[in-house]
């Protein structure tokens, strides 16, 4: 099978199907972010190894430009925050992170960054290789270089670039508090739920200070409704048990951590409640926990945006006037910080449209016969 990219020793350039790239004065090669999906990571590693052998270099870099590559200048144009390097024969994603924290401790910050990144990198077949400040600055901002070793097998170079970009977004979110559903999930997995304190609950985040009462039908229905609200919403969401909210005039803020008891059955009980009271099962629903080592921790449920053809998600059971109506079906969805039932006309129009499609299909089949 032909390589997607190779190094030509005679011409001293990287060659690929649609062109070539010369070694630059910045001691590396320059590519645009949009080009990376053309190359297999293994092929790039082998090509850079060829260049390293020719130049007798311990490290060979690929600088990745996000703007106009034709305007990139070796001396004056800074590359993007993600680059790819071959270091002693190992393909490494290198990112640069600027931290603006006023109380700066260069001894402890690498440990903080490592704890945040480790769970994310493990899921992306990557490991943290090194964290180092680029220079011994005495005032902010501080620039850190973080090397991430990625397994190149069966991956495109664009996937490695994505690992680096997402790692930057995750660290930026931890410092700035400008969270997304994705970065919030990664911070919960990293055991950094404390970053959420002071953040508002909203269209994709809901917290609860205790477990849902999974020993009661009422609690199981409440859990199913909490998940259904996000499953029926446009952008999905996260439900967290083990954090306390506080009401303010504009809504509700996350006030503090209040760890809930965890045991070997906790996640299974959550799963069982949803299996019995929510239909259809949401796609790619994650139920996870982060223990504190003392028999407590937090439980979080991640509901990704759901395909429209699965909606609406139905909850088997309802609470009417504080009474459990097990034979009822409830349909709820998220709007802002609250939830509203889907209206009877909306339900009827959905069912009617489905019946019409089924009827047309049946009629079409009969006409063919």
Residue 232 in any domain: the answer is yes
Name the average pLDDT for the chain. 86
Of the given ranges (38-52, 160-174, 242-256), which has the lowest mean pLDDT? Answer: 242-256
Residue 241 has pLDDT above 50, yes or no: yes
* Residues 333-350, mean pLDDT to the nearest whole number: 62
**Are 278 and 146 members of one domain?**
no
Write down the pLDDT at residue 353.
Answer: 73
**Are 343 and 227 members of one domain?**
yes
Residue 192 in any domain: the answer is no
Of the given ranges (18-27, 28-37, 147-156, 333-342), which has the lowest mean pLDDT? Answer: 333-342
**Are 31 and 139 members of one domain?**
yes
Residue 166 in any domain: the answer is yes
Of the given ranges (69-83, 167-181, 246-260, 321-335), which has the lowest mean pLDDT? Answer: 321-335
Residue 27 has pLDDT above 90, yes or no: no
3-state secondary structure 82-149: EEEEEECCEEEEEEEEEECCCCCCCCCHHHHHHHHHHHHHHHCCEEEEEEEECCCCCCCCEEEEEEEE
**Are 147 and 296 members of one domain?**
no
**What are residue 241's DSSP bridge partners?**
208, 299
Residue 186 in any domain: the answer is no
Query: Which pLDDT band, with edges at 50, 70 and 90, does 64 fall under?
Result: very high
Residue 363 has pLDDT above 60, yes or no: no
**Are 162 and 205 members of one domain?**
no
Six token digits for residue 219: 């609690």
Domain that holds residue 234: 200-357
Domain boundary among 160, 176, 192: 176
**Are 133 and 53 members of one domain?**
yes
**Are 273 and 312 members of one domain?**
yes
> Which residue in 118, 124, 99, 122 sits closest to 109, CA to CA?
99
Domain boundary among 176, 192, 214: 176
**Are 314 and 244 members of one domain?**
yes
**Are 109 and 39 members of one domain?**
yes
Write down the pLDDT at residue 79.
Answer: 82
Cα distance between residue 304 and residue 184, in whole Å: 13
pLDDT above 70: percentage of residues in the chain: 86
Residue 32 has pLDDT above 90, yes or no: yes
Residue 168 has pLDDT above 70, yes or no: yes
Please state the pTM of the whole predicted model.
0.74
Residue 11 in any domain: the answer is yes
**Are 20 and 153 members of one domain?**
yes
**Are 211 and 346 members of one domain?**
yes
Query: Which pLDDT band, with edges at 50, 70 and 90, does 71 fall under?
Result: confident
| Greater model confidence, 75 or 54 | 54
CATH number at residue 221: 3.30.950.30
pLDDT tens digits for range 261-292: 999 999 999 999 999 999 999 999 999 999 98
Distances (CA, A) of 66 to 26, 31, 45, 150, 301: 17, 9, 21, 21, 35
* Residues 97-108, mean pLDDT to the nearest whole number: 68
Residue 301, C-beta contacts closer than 8 angstroms, at least 6 positions apart: 226, 227, 238, 239, 240, 270, 285, 286, 287, 288
Residue 226 in any domain: the answer is yes
Six token digits for residue 137: 């600055």
Residue 344 has pLDDT above 90, yes or no: no
Write down the pLDDT at residue 337.
Answer: 44
Write down the pLDDT at residue 335.
Answer: 59
User: Are the beta carbons of 242 and 257 closer than 8 angstroms?
Assistant: yes
Write down the pLDDT at residue 340.
Answer: 52
Domain boundary among 111, 143, 176: 176
Residue 193 in any domain: the answer is no
Number of domains the chain is built from: 2
Residue 364 in any domain: the answer is no
Query: Which pLDDT band, with edges at 50, 70 and 90, does 102 fall under?
Result: low
**Are 76 and 216 members of one domain?**
no
């Amino acid at each position: 099978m032909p390589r997607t990219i190779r190094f030509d020793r005679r011409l001293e350039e990287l060659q690929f199907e649609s062109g070539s790239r010369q070694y630059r004065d910045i001691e590396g090669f320059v590519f645009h972010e949009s080009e990376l999906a053309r190359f297999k990571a293994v092929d790039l590693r082998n090509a850079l190894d060829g260049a390293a052998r020719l130049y007798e270099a311990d490290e060979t870099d690929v600088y990745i430009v996000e703007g106009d590559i034709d305007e990139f200048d070796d001396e004056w144009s800074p590359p993007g925050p993600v680059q790819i390097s071959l270091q002693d024969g190992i393909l490494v994603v290198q990112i640069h992170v600027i931290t603006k924290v006023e109380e700066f401790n260069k001894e402890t910050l690498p440990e903080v960054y490592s704890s945040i990144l480790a769970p994310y990198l493990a899921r992306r077949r990557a490991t943290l290789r090194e964290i180092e400040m680029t220079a011994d600055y005495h005032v902010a901002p501080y620039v850190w270089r973080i090397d991430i070793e990625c397994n190149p097998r069966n991956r495109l170079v664009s996937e490695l670039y994505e690992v680096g970009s997402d790692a930057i977004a995750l660290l930026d979110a931890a410092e700035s508090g400008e969270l997304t559903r994705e970065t919030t999930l990664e911070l919960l997995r990293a055991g950094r739920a404390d970053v959420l304190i002071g953040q508002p609950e909203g269209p994709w985040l809901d917290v609860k200070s205790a477990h849902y009462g999974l020993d009661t039908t009422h609690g199981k229905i409440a859990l199913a409704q909490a998940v259904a609200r996000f499953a029926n919403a446009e952008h999905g969401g996260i439900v967290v048990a083990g954090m306390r909210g506080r009401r303010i005039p504009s809504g509700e803020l996350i006030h503090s951590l209040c760890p809930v008891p965890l045991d070997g059955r906790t996640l299974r009980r959550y799963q069982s409640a949803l299996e019995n009271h929510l239909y259809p099962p949401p796609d790619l629903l994650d139920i996870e926990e982060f223990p504190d080592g003392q028999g407590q921790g937090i439980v979080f449920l991640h509901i990704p945006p759901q395909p429209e053809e699965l909606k609406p998600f139905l909850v088997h059971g309802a609470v009417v006037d504080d009474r459990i109506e097990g034979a009822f079906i409830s349909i709820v969805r998220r709007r802002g910080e609250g939830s509203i039932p889907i209206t009877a006309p909306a339900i009827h129009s959905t069912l009617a449209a489905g019946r019409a499609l089924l009827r047309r299909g049946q009629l079409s089949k009969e006409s063919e016969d």
